[in-house]
A = this chain, B = another copy of it.
């Protein structure tokens, strides 16, 4: 039937909010945040809770070899590739209650709301919890969606170890045993009709603009560079400046020059020196070795490459009597979400009186990997003061509900009306 004649799907704001609070108890921290790192007992417990909620709605549950959890609402055409929505339940060590979790619970709420008004879709709807998006316990991050998009990586990813030497494969075993027995093993990857992921913005732009729905235009590119400055340890009291090879002094000059290089009047360039390791790091010893990281992001691949490539030249110019090595650690080129999914998000938002605001994602998401295998898009809702990856992370119940409402209608549109032709 045409959209205007379908029954109105209505998400339940209170239920959605309550589920966030309930979920936040698992790994909840004293300061109101969440520590629920990938494949820990807490992560397993969170997935088990979700599986129970799904079972109560009659959804079929499956777990693939990398631990991605799927809750499936059948469509009329069992052979049609499903429409996927979801996100992740793992957090950073001092993470918040909404990052990742919102995309999962908004998906559950959308599917429940669709069910309550009895809408049948042609394609199945699947809610997915991707394994290890955060990448803080096991590297790389977005492990589950990465394996989904490229199953050939599975063995390498299963062999990754945390700091205690525990392999992903071992940690997964614990998760499997924690899940209800109704969760059946399923295969890795497979055809998907479309993927849509809801997420809190993790930035301040929606809040600043007073808008509720962010239409994600793409995910900016990221480049990680490691700088190592080699000097010579020296005695702080005896070594005159002209004889010093002070690695910290050189590093400081490099960082200041890089800040000038990266200066951007439009404030689009994201340049961060987040980690600095000084050695021997004793108050009375001239530091002989300094390591620092550069996290550089930009929505345009050309700019990302140009700025990143200039880092080495700037560092060499400020090396003084030391030496420097510049190593590219990783590079993820920017992607753009276009076509089916963002178009649907835009149209649905408009029709619900919540006109969307185009917004680029500063953070990486599982949607990046899905973008390689199916039409993909994301929608953002505001988060308080743009604070994320932080125990203080928060969001408004009404914004979360508005996003879930848009998501529900988008899923219905993407899954197509029952009774249509196969495809």
- Where chain A touches its partner, the secondary structure class is loop
CB contact under 8 A between A274 and B249, given known A362-B235, A362-B237:
no
Contact of A25 with B by CB under 8 A: no
Question: Is A243 within 8 A of B386, CB to CB?
Answer: yes
Q: How far is the CA of A38 from the CA of B387 in the complex (A)?
A: 46
The smallest C-beta distance from A260 to any residue of chain B, in angstroms, reads: 12
Does A142 touch B at the CB level, under 8 Å? no
A286 to B220, CA, bound (A): 17
Q: Which of B93, B233, B276, B390 is close to A276, meaning CB atoms less than 8 Å apart?
A: B276
Contact call B282/A274, Cβ cutoff below 8 A: yes
Q: How many residues of A contact B (CB 8 A)?
A: 63
- CB–CB B236/A248 < 8 A: no
Would you call A336 an interface residue if the criterion is a C-beta within 8 Å of the partner chain's C-beta atoms? no
Residues of B within 8 A of A268 (CB): 240
Residues of B within 8 A of A309 (CB): none
Output the nearest chain B residue to A330 by Cβ-Cβ distance: B283
Q: Residues of B contacting A285 with CB < 8 Å?
A: 272, 274, 389
Neighbour of A248 across the interface among B234, B276, B283, CB < 8 A: B276
Residues 19-38 of A contacting B (Cβ, < 8 Å): none
Q: Is A256 among interface residues, defined by CB-CB distance under 8 A?
A: yes
Check if A274 sits within 8 Å of B286, measured CB to CB: yes
- Given A256-B253, A256-B256, A259-B249, A237:B282 Cβ within 8 A: no
* A159 CB–B CB distance under 8 Å: no
* Chain B residues, Cβ within 8 Å of A386: 235, 238-239, 243
On chain B, the residues within 8 Å of A241 by CB distance are: 264, 267, 269-271
Chain B residues whose C-beta falls within 8 Å of the C-beta of A131 in the assembled complex: none
Task: Answer yes or no: A224 CB below 8 A from chain B CBs.
Answer: yes
Q: A residues bordering B, Cβ < 8 Å?
A: 92-94, 136, 201-204, 220, 222, 224, 233-243, 246, 248-249, 252-253, 255-256, 259, 264, 267-278, 280-287, 293, 295, 297, 361-364, 386-390
Q: Give 5 closest A-B pairs by Cβ, nearest first.
A: A238-B362, A203-B238, A237-B362, A236-B272, A283-B293
- List, sorted by A's number, 13 A–B pairs whose CB atoms are closer than 8 Å: A202-B237, A238-B386, A241-B264, A249-B255, A249-B259, A249-B273, A252-B255, A272-B284, A272-B285, A274-B284, A274-B285, A276-B276, A277-B281
Knowing that A235-B389, A241-B271 are A-B contacts, what are 13 other residue pairs whose CB atoms are under 8 Å apart, sorted by A's residue number?
A93-B280, A203-B240, A224-B283, A235-B388, A238-B361, A240-B267, A242-B267, A248-B273, A249-B273, A274-B278, A274-B283, A275-B281, A275-B283
